[in-house]
Structure formats: C-alpha cells, structure tokens
C-alpha cells in the first residue's frame, strides 16, 4: 500500500531511528548473555565446589554442575552407617536382562573409561565436603539433616591426596559379554570399605553408552 511504502526506507538509506534503537538494545542484551554464558562456562569448568571438571565437559554448556560428593543415590550416602567393619569390600555392576526385541542375550560394554577419567579420578578438596554439607543439611524429610560420610571424606582428602580410595576393575572397552557378567568391580579396603558403593551410581551410567554400542 501507499502507506506501507511511505514507511519503508529506500535502499541505501539509514534505518529508521526506532529500529536502530531496537538493534542496539538487542546487541547490548546479547553481549550481556554472552558474558553470563562465558562466566558460567568458567565456573562449570572448575566444578561448583572446586577445580576438577575438564574443559571439554562444558563445551556447549553440556555438563553437570554438581560436586562429586553428592553424585550418588541418597540412600548410598548412609551406607557408611550400615556396613560392618571389615578388611575389604567389593561391589559389582551387571546387565541383568537382554535387550527387548533381541534374541541375542549379549551386549557391548562401552563407556567406562569416560566416567573413570572425568568423574571417579577427579581429585577432591575440602570444598567438595563443604558442598555436601550444604546439600545434606536439609536433604532429609522436613528439611532436616541427612547423614553422609563427612569424616571419611575428610580422611581420604588428607591421606589419599584427595583421590577416592577405591580400586575399579572393568571389562575392556568394546567387550562383548553375556548378561549377568560383572562389568565392573569396585573394591575398598579397611576403614574406607564403607565407601565401596558410593561411586556405584555414577558408574552405572555406563548403561547408556553400552546400550548405544549394542543396538547400533
């Protein structure tokens, strides 16, 4: 229409003032968002409770902003109160059923190295225990304190240079095995035996890459 044509700027002319203002506002907003994302990426690269998470984990902001000290099933945080004193304790993981729609009851074990290198082998600091303290303080019913192995955490940070005091044995990457074959075994000794199953939750995440490898 004539009215629309009258409001449109001719080719090569400067944009209308209100459009320029909107563009500048969007540029400022985008700059602020980029700064926030960059700051968040840097914070996530260090982990929410201390240095440890590798930079590749935050590529595209794909990461878990969560300290290792709380990356377990809630009930596993209480196992240290339930297990008896012993010289050594082991726990294992397995695939218990064949895949739906498959006659073959084998699977391809894959992905354990990623979880070992990026999570289990991460060095803990006092900040990780502080983060667990803050998390479990209101984790129980009625926002009351929930038990967790605080003293054992402090102990292995001091005595084991911050590394979780377990030995993890696993099938080689790419192994084809039958269901009910132990995929990995976690072993802890002495006083640390009570921490044997704390890492079980993160290691069972190997289920997903193994499923992809099996079904591909």
Task: Kindly report, residue by residue over 8-20, the tens digit of the pLDDT.
Answer: 445 555 555 676 7
CA triple 139-145-148, angle to 5 deg: 85
15: its two tokens: 């944009």
Q: Given its phi and psi angles, is residue 157 left (phi above 0), alpha (psi -120 to 50 degrees) or beta?
A: alpha
User: How confident is residue 199, by pLDDT bands cut at 50, 70 and 90?
Assistant: very high
pLDDT of residue 3: 46
pLDDT of residue 22: 76
The pLDDT value recorded for residue 169 is 96
The set of residues, in sequence order, having a beta carbon less than 8 Å from that of 54 and lying 6+ positions away, is 45, 118
For residues 154-175, average pLDDT: 96
More confident residue, 7 or 167: 167
Q: Where are the alpha helices (DSSP H) in the chain?
A: 2-7, 17-46, 79-82, 112-115, 126-136, 150-159, 200-203, 207-215
């Amino acid at each position: 229409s004539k009215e629309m044509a009258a409001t449109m700027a001719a080719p090569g002319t400067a944009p209308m003032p209100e459009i320029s203002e909107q563009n500048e506002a969007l540029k400022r907003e985008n700059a602020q968002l980029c700064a926030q994302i960059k700051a968040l990426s840097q914070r996530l690269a260090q982990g929410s409770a201390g240095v440890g998470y590798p930079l590749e984990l935050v590529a595209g902001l794909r990461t878990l902003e969560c300290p290792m000290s709380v990356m377990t099933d809630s009930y596993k945080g209480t196992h240290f109160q339930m297990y008896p004193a012993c010289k050594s304790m082991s726990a294992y993981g397995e695939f218990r059923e064949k895949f739906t729609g498959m006659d073959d009851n084998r699977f391809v074990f894959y992905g354990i190295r990623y979880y070992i290198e990026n999570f289990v082998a991460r060095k803990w600091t006092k900040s990780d225990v502080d983060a667990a303290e803050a998390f479990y303080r209101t984790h129980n019913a009625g926002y009351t304190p929930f038990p967790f192995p605080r003293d054992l955490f402090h102990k292995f940070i001091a005595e084991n240079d911050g590394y979780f005091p377990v030995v993890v044995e696993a099938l080689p990457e790419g192994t084809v095995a039958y269901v009910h074959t132990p995929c990995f075994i976690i072993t802890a000794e002495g006083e640390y035996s009570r921490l044997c199953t704390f890492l079980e939750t993160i290691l069972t995440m190997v289920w997903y890459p193994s499923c992809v490898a099996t079904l591909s």
